[in-house]
Amino acid sequence: MKYQTQKIAYAYFLAAIALFIVQVSGGLLAGWIYISPNTLSEILPFNIVRMLHTNALIVWLLLGFFGAAYFIIPEESEREIYSPKIAYWQLAILLIGTLGAVVTYVFDLFHDNILLGKDGREFLEQPLWVKIGIVVAALMFLYNISMTVLSGKKTAISSVLIIGLWGLALLFLFAFYNPHNLSLDKMYWWYVVHLWVEGVWELIMASILAYLMLKLTGVDREIVEKWLYVIVGTALFSGILGTGHHYYWIGAPAYWQWIGSIFSSFEVVPFFLMVVFAFVMVWKGRREHPNKAALLWSLGCAVLAFFGAGVWGFLHTLHGVNFYTHGTQITAAHGHLAFFGAYVALNLAIFTYAFPMLRNRDPYNQVLNMVSFWLMAGGMCFMTFVLTFAGTIQTHLQRVMGQYYMEVQDQIILFHYMRFGAGVAVVLGAILFVVAILLPRREVVEPGPLAKQQLSAAE
């Protein structure tokens, strides 16, 4: 680690990991409530559990992105972070806001209070004071990172990363506009939700993946940057107007059905390019980097993002298909694998790469880390298949046969059991990952029986 301020990332990564465990635990509990609906219903209703699951996911991914920026930017800009104090104050504000939102929802506080009370919009449930805190923290972050980049060397990786982070912050401002008209509300709501995960987050993903490939494979920077430009171009071309696939059934004009279908069909392209990019870099790479676990997570990120966000997204993005599948378990299948592949695996890849250096324990035993990858990736893939089958049956019974939602839930209960089993595997993998990251040991290879005999003979 060349720059002292890269250590700022350590605090962000630790906070992100803590929320990661909260997120997967909440998901497991939500999965069990599908099987036993009255579980904790008086203390912690399902809507609160689901809110904690989804919001913890968003917050820890953001903390991971911020930490990754604090780790990557000094190396790319060839200088220290402009102000470490601002970075730590930013983290404190984000953690206080997160805690405040959780307490408000769990204890059901401040009813109808516009500043302190609940918002109620999915994924944007944070009370108004928390949203203001997020904007303040984002401004501090952007000022800090921008000053660092502007005073140092500019690279394609740092430029794309900072453009993505600026876009992330600016689009969040739409969260403050909450019109009474439900159709308008949904249109602006998707400006935040869709243009984050299928727009600017893809820029952040591509730049972090490019950084990892550069470091892990040793391929020339010029080649990596050319790939980065192509991926970013296709992501923006398809992702911005691809927002239209959310406008099919909210009261927007009918032309969105064609615009959304056409452009969102192209959204598979940048994810496919990321798979090709990652494997070509490894194939052309001339460096034998010792951190094999980070390489596994990087390749896994590209592949799972392609299937989750690309293939599973395409399966129900055409408006003629989406008319029947919208809001079923097929949506849940796509959402789970897309988020895991594109952003969870990406964050775990940069954690795996950075932690040995941040903890000054490089090299270390990576077996546990790799086992955690296969546990989480395997569990998430099985969950995706299970939800896809459940969603197909649900679509037929509910949308074609006209049965009621709760009647259908009874008929797909077997799939909910299997989904819960897959969730157990994911949680175990997450715990194993934390152990592998926080308790690494120096790799000591003991001689086998044959080697010991040869050593004895030589003596």
Q: What is the b/e burial string over 312-339, where b = at least 16 CB atoms within 10 angstroms of the residue's CB? A: bbbbbbbbeebeebbebbbbbbbbbbbb
pTM: 0.92
Q: What are phi and psi of 388, to 5 degrees?
A: -65, -45
Domain assignment of residue 112, yes or no: yes
97: exposed, middle or buried (Cβ count in 10 Å: 0-12, 13-18, 19+)? buried
Burial classification of residue 434, based on how many CB atoms lie within 10 Å of its CB (0-12 exposed, 13-18 middle, 19 or more buried)? middle
DSSP 365: -
Q: What confidence tens digit (pLDDT) does each residue in 36-52 have?
A: 999 998 889 999 999 89
Cβ count near 183 (within 10 Å): 11
The answer on pLDDT for 247 being more than 60 is: yes
Confidence of residue 170 (pLDDT cuts 50, 70, 90): very high
Cβ pair 450, 424 in contact under 8 A: no
Q: Is the pLDDT of residue 116 over 70?
A: yes
Where does the pLDDT of residue 433 fall: very low under 50, low under 70, confident under 90, or very high at 90 and above?
very high
User: Which sign, positive or negative, has the C-alpha torsion 189, 190, 196, 200?
Assistant: negative
Of the CA atoms within 13 Å of residue 332, those in its CB half-sphere come to 23
Provide the 8-state DSSP code for 360. T
pLDDT band at 333 (very low <50, low <70, confident <90, very high): very high
Q: Which CATH number characterizes residue 12's domain?
A: 1.20.120
* 243 SS3 class: helix
Supply the pLDDT for residue 370: 95
Q: 192 with 124: CB under 8 angstroms?
A: yes
pLDDT tens, residue by residue, 349-366: 999 999 999 988 766 778
- Do the beta carbons of residue 368 and residue 432 sit within 8 Å? yes
Sign of CA dihedral 107, 111, 117, 118: positive
**Residue 325 included in any domain:** no
Residue 126 forms part of a structural domain: yes
Give the pLDDT confidence of 335-353 residue by residue, as tens digits.
Answer: 999 999 999 999 999 999 9
Average pLDDT score over residue span 288-297: 90
Note the pLDDT of residue 351. Answer: 95
Q: Is residue 321 part of a domain?
A: no
Judge whether 91 lies within some domain.
yes
Burial of residue 459 (CB within 10 Å: 0-12, 13-18, 19+) is: exposed
Quote the CA–CA distance of 317 and 403 in Å, as a whole number.
24
Q: Which of 227, 333, 316 is nearest to 268 (CA)?
A: 316
Question: Above 80 in pLDDT, residue 448?
Answer: no
Give residues with Cβ within 8 angstroms of 184, minimum separation 6. none
pLDDT, mean of residues 162-185: 90
Average pLDDT over residues 439-448: 63
Domain total of the chain: 1
Matching residue, tokens 């998707």:
190
Which of 264, 126, 120, 242 is CA-nearest to residue 191? 242
User: Is residue 243 situated within a structural domain?
Assistant: no
Q: What is the pLDDT of residues 389-413, one digit of tens each?
A: 999 999 999 999 999 999 999 999 9
Looking at the predicted structure, is the pLDDT value of residue 459 above 60? no
Residue 293 has pLDDT above 80, yes or no: yes
Tell me what pLDDT residue 34 has.
93
Q: Which of these, 387, 410, 386, 401, lies nearest to 330 by C-alpha position?
A: 387
Phi and psi angles of residue 180, each rounded to the nearest 5 degrees, phi first: -70, -35
Q: 340-360 burial by CB neighbour count: b if 16+ within 10 A, else e?
A: bbbbbbbbbbbbbbbbbbbee
Planar angle of CA 215, 217, 220, nearest 5 degrees: 80
- Residue 259 in any domain: the answer is no
DSSP 8-state code for residue 396: I
- Identify whether 363 is preceded by a cis peptide bond (ω within 30 of 0): yes
- From the list 346, 269, 278, the residue with the least C-alpha distance to 309 is 269
Closest CA to 62 of 133, 118, 134: 134
pLDDT at 346: 96
Residue 72: give the domain boundaries. 1-153
Is the confidence at residue 14, as pLDDT, over 60? yes
In our burial notation (b when 16+ CB lie closer than 10 A, e otherwise), range 132-143 reads ebbeebbebbbe
Give a yes or no: residue 415 inside a domain.
no
Q: Of 262, 349, 256, 258, which is closest to residue 299 (Cα–Cα)?
A: 349
Residue that has been written with the tokens 């046969």 in this structure: 401
d(CA 133, CA 12) in angstroms, rounded, equals 17
Mean pLDDT across the stretch 170-188? 90
| φ/ψ (deg, to 5) at 54 | -75, -40
pLDDT digits (tens, 9 = 90+) for 196-232: 888 899 999 999 999 999 999 989 899 999 999 999 9
